[in-house]
Amino acid sequence: MAPRRFSGARRVNLGDANDRGRLRLDALASFLQDIALDDISRANFPAGYGWVLRRTSHRINRLPAIYEQIELETWCSGTGKRWLERSTSISRNVGTAFVQTASIWVYVNLETGAPALLPPEYMAVFGESAAGRKVTARLTHDAPPPGDPRVVWPLRSTDFDVYGHVNNCSYWSAVEGVLASRVGSERIVAAELEFRGGILPGEFPDLVVVDRPAGVAIWFEVAGMVRASGTVDLV
């Protein structure tokens, strides 16, 4: 049997594109989240468990344009004891990728929120595509500069998901807002977000934004504690 790969088609619609007609990063995150859940839902896994995103990294040749039909192909590309790496390729036709994404998802007990060991059922379905490759969930982003100004990030009720914290797509929406205020004709070639802890209802996050020679770095803080951070590389 060939290693498991799962694919699905999407169309970049009006609500997925920015004012220049390219796929937004938050819409891309939604596509990736949906295709992963479509894949997992077709396997018989234990109830009471779910997945929390730890890190996602994009390598971008170009972002698809509005009304473009695209193909997403996803597979398990590595595992740890309590997490896995899911790779996804986005293309017009399989094999001509516009975007390559790798995401670390942590397997958690939904009642306690604690990371759980990957069950044998998962490895039986997805382990072959990982080919024994081990991955780490270690985070690598630096802390924000202490003297840089913070700006309030206003949250909406629609930013929260069924897990009771801000969904990863909403962080990318904030990244898009930062880019819109800074970017002229530059092209996004890479983007990454790391998650240290969820932002909960009733909390008041701030953004720290630092321009870099070839992009921008962003931190999401609550009461001075980093909950997430991101980088975007531009050319």
pLDDT in tens, 72-84: 999 999 999 999 9
Angstrom distance (rounded) from CA 183 to CA 31: 24
Is the per-residue pLDDT at 172 higher than 80?
Answer: yes
The domain 150-234 belongs to what CATH superfamily?
Hotdog Thioesterase (3.10.129.10)
Ranges in the chain annotated CATH 3.10.129.10: 6-130, 150-234
CA distances from 156 to 40, 91, 170 (A): 29, 32, 9
Q: What is the pLDDT at residue 91?
A: 95
Q: What is the pLDDT at residue 44?
A: 72
**6-130: what fold?**
Thiol Ester Dehydrase; Chain A (3.10.129)
The end-to-end CA distance of the chain, in Å, is 42
Angstrom distance (rounded) from CA 102 to CA 93: 19
> Does the pTM exceed 0.85?
yes
Q: Residues 207, 220: contact at Cβ < 8 Å?
A: yes
- When pLDDT is cut at 50, 70 and 90, the band that residue 94 belongs to is low
User: Percentage of the chain with pLDDT > 90?
Assistant: 82
Give the pLDDT mean for 134-141: 96
Is the per-residue pLDDT at 183 higher than 70?
Answer: no
